[in-house]
A and B are shown apart, each in its own frame.
Chain A
């Protein structure tokens, strides 16, 4: 079973704060994704990546940066956090032609 690990699992920050969410997969998957989950919206794609050094824009990228430093590691950066970014964030990875494997989620609260 593919392993995707997210950290932190829970985070509270203030408006204007700086937050980094981390995701590591140990399955040699090329593709990694960051989603946010909000009631009434399902999962919405923020950023994704094909491999180390690659970054693709998702459907709701505003206010977020991302960086894929290695094949294993994909980071989501909120440099000026706002209350609208309070959400449950999921990271996922996949190899070509395979299902998505999700981490356990990171709950972020911006006060």
Chain B
């Protein structure tokens, strides 16, 4: 719940545009993961991050542990990017993985 705050809760994009999703953490976090839940409900891993930045195709993610946040940038949005994006934080010293409440993304033509 409040341990991982995700924003925005919903987002509509036109194809070809760019956007950024954000997670703020109120718990000490060692690693961050980003997932996409497709319309069928399956959860697919996008990134596993220690502090730093990773890029994969049109997606780029940063984890800033000092300022307790992570971002997911989507470039040139496509229809198949539609779904719900979740970030998840691995809490220090517990091995709990705590999820945000998700960002529902709709990409339209």
Q: Which residues of A contact B (CB under 8 A)?
A: 31, 33, 35, 40-45, 48, 50, 56, 58-59, 88, 90, 92, 94, 97-102, 104-105
- Main SS at interface, chain A: strand
Task: Please state if A42 and B102 are interface contacts (CB–CB under 8 Å).
Answer: yes
Q: Which residues of B contact A (CB under 8 A)?
A: 1, 6, 31, 33, 35, 41-43, 45, 48, 86, 88, 95-102
Contact A58-B42, Cβ < 8 Å, known A98-B48, A100-B33, A100-B88? no
Please, could you name 8 A-B residue pairs with CB atoms under 8 Å apart, sorted by A? A31-B95, A42-B101, A43-B99, A48-B96, A59-B98, A92-B97, A99-B33, A100-B33
- CA A42 – CA B103 in complex, angstroms? 10
- CA A103 – CA B1 in complex, angstroms? 22
Chain A residues with Cβ below 8 Å from B97 are 33, 45, 92, 94, 100
